[in-house]
Structure 1
Amino acid sequence: MPAHIEHLLTSGSFSLDGGTWNVDNNVWIVGDDDECVVIDAAHDVDAILQAVGDRKLVGILCTHAHDDHIGAVAGVKAAHTAPTYLHPDDMVLWDRVYPDAPPSRPLEDGQHIHVAGIDLDVLHTPGHSPGAVCFFAPALGTVFSGDTLFHGGPGATGRSFSDFPTIIESITGRLLTLPPSTVVLTGHGESTTIGEEAGHLAEWIARGH
Structure 2
Amino acid sequence: MAAWIERVVTSGTFALDGGVWDVDNNVWIVGDDTEAVVIDAAHDADAIAEALGGRRLLAIVSTHAHNDHVNAAPALAERTGAPVLLHPDDLPLWKLTHPDRAPEGELADGQVITVAGTALTVLHTPGHAPGAVCLYAPALGTVFTGDTLFAGGPGATGRSFSDFPTIIRSIEGRLLSLAPDTAVRPGHGDGTTVGDEAPHLDAWIARGH
TM-score under structure 1 normalisation? 0.99
Q: CA RMSD of the aligned region, Å?
A: 0.6
Moved over 3 A (4+): none
Superposition map of 1:57-76 within 5 A: 57-76=57-76
The equivalent of 2:181 in structure 1 is: 181
The equivalent of 1:24 in structure 2 is: 24
User: Is residue 105 of structure 1 aligned with residue 108 of structure 2?
Assistant: no
- Mapped contact 2:29–2:37 kept (Cα < 8 A): yes
Per-residue CA deviation, residues 134-180 of structure 1 (Å, 9 max, x unaligned), is 00001000000000000000000000000000000000000001000
Give the superposition deviation at 1:45.
1.1
The equivalent of 2:89 in structure 1 is: 89
2:145, 2:151 → 1: CA distance? 11
Per-residue CA deviation, residues 113-148 of structure 1 (Å, 9 max, x unaligned), is 010001100000000000000000010000000000
The equivalent of 1:165 in structure 2 is: 165
1:104, 1:86 → 2: CA distance? 8
Give the superposition deviation at 1:75.
1.1
The equivalent of 2:147 in structure 1 is: 147
The equivalent of 2:195 in structure 1 is: 195
> Which one-letter code corresponds to 1:137 in the other structure?
A
1:97, 1:202 → 2: CA distance? 35
> Which one-letter code corresponds to 1:103 in the other structure?
P
The equivalent of 1:46 in structure 2 is: 46
- Mapped contact 2:148–2:155 kept (Cα < 8 A): yes
> Which one-letter code corresponds to 1:171 in the other structure?
I
Give the secondary structure class of the aligned counterpart of 2:102: coil
Unaligned 5+ segments in structure 2 are none
Percent identity reads 66
Unaligned 5+ segments in structure 1 are none
2:110, 2:12 → 1: CA distance? 32
Per-residue CA deviation, residues 88-124 of structure 1 (Å, 9 max, x unaligned), is 0000100111111110110000000010001100000
1:126, 1:86 → 2: CA distance? 13
Give the superposition deviation at 1:201.
0.3
- Mapped contact 2:153–2:197 kept (Cα < 8 A): yes
* Count of aligned positions: 209
Give the superposition deviation at 1:74.
1.2
2:2, 2:122 → 1: CA distance? 21
Superposition map of 1:120-159 within 5 A: 120-159=120-159
2:106, 2:71 → 1: CA distance? 18
